């Protein structure tokens, strides 16, 4: 017959009651009194942290008047990245597909920074749309550069926003795209989409 060791009950009880009475706040590690029952994702929170989390989550939902700022900053981010990508292609004459992810990332970061504390779906859609805009702009810069260079060989000078180049670009764009580009577009847009996403934490009372 096997004998289980019988623990000195006083010690076990003390440990057990310590656990029950002194839960620690999962954010600041302070003791949470038993009558406070607020949790986030099943983890206990002290009143101070729960109030702060509640405020932060409310701020995420409140886009208020920040949308134009988020949009402008997202456009700026997309354009900067598009310029960087186009410059890399023009100087190396090699199309580095993964720089497309930078376009998505900077579009998303612009939207996120411009939005202040706000997060969520409308900002994610904006970021993805601006990522796509940035990719098209980058393609345009690249196309305009090489098209102007070929015109220059015939002795015709054309600026980057030459009406002829602008008119031909939409027609030429599908021919410039490879199946690989689709992959980079998807990566760029999913990157942009993730940056201004809302917190997945839920606060329970």
Going by the DSSP 8-state scheme, the letter that residue 197 receives in this structure is: P
> Both tokens of residue 28?
């600041």
Q: Look at the block and give the residue holding tokens 């456009």.
A: 75
Query: Do the beta carbons of residue 33 and residue 48 sit within 8 Å?
Result: no
Nearer Cβ to Zn ion (31/149): 31
In this chain, which stretch among 10-18, 24-32, 81-89, 191-199 interacts with Zn ion, using CB under 5 A? 24-32
25 part of the interface to Zn ion, by CB under 5 A? yes
Nearer to Zn ion, 25 or 102 (CB): 25
* Cross-strand pairs, 24: 31
Strands (E), 102-151: none
Q: How far is the CB of 53 from Zn ion (least distance, A)?
A: 9
- HEC assignment per residue over 99-158: HHHHHHHHHHHHHHHHCCCCCCHHHHHHHHHHHHHHHHHHHHHHHHHHHHHHHHHCCCCC
Q: How far is the CB of 41 from Zn ion (least distance, A)?
A: 14
- C-alpha 190/C-alpha 104 separation (Å) is 8
Q: How many binding residues for Zn ion (CB under 5 A)?
A: 5
Nearer to Zn ion, 49 or 128 (CB): 49
The span of 28-36, 72-80, 102-110, 156-164 binding Zn ion (CB under 5 A) equals 28-36
Does the CA dihedral 186-132-78-181 come out positive or negative?
positive
Two tokens, residue 88: 């890399």
When asked if residue 50 is in the footprint of Zn ion (CB under 5 A), the reply is no
- Residue from 40, 46, 71, 165 binding Zn ion (CB under 5 A): 46
Question: Where does 63-120 have alpha helices with state H?
Answer: 67-92, 99-114
Using CB under 5 A, which of 27, 76, 151, 172 touches Zn ion?
27
We find the least distance from the C-beta atom of residue 46 to Zn ion, in angstroms, to be 4
User: What element of type H or E holds 11?
Assistant: helix 9-21
Decide whether 47 or 178 has the Cβ nearer to Zn ion: 47
45 or 102, CB closer to Zn ion? 45
Contact letters (x/-) for Zn ion, 157-176, by CB under 5 A?
Answer: --------------------
3-state secondary structure of 6: coil
Query: What is the closest distance, in whole angstroms, from the C-beta atom of residue 197 to Zn ion in the complex?
Result: 24
Q: Which residues bind Zn ion (CB under 5 A)?
A: 25, 27-28, 46, 49
């Amino acid at each position: 017959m096997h004998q289980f060791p019988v623990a000195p009950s006083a010690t076990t009880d003390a440990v057990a009651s310590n656990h029950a009475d002194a839960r620690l706040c999962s954010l600041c590690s302070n003791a949470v009194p038993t009558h406070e029952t607020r949790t986030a994702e099943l983890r206990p929170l002290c009143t101070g942290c729960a109030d702060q989390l509640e405020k932060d989550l409310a701020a995420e939902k409140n886009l208020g008047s920040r949308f134009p700022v988020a949009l402008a900053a997202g456009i700026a981010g997309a354009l900067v990245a598009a310029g960087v990508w186009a410059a890399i292609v023009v100087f190396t004459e090699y199309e580095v597909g993964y720089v497309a992810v930078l376009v998505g990332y900077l579009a998303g970061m612009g939207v996120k920074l411009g939005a202040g504390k706000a997060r969520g779906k409308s900002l994610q859609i904006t970021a993805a749309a601006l990522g796509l805009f940035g990719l098209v702009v980058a393609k345009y810069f690249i196309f305009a550069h090489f098209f102007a260079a070929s015109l220059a060989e015939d002795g015709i000078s054309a600026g980057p926003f030459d009406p002829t180049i602008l008119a031909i670009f939409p027609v030429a764009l599908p021919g410039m795209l490879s199946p690989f580009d689709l992959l980079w577009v998807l990566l760029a847009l999913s990157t942009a989409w993730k940056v201004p996403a809302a917190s997945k934490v839920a606060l329970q009372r």
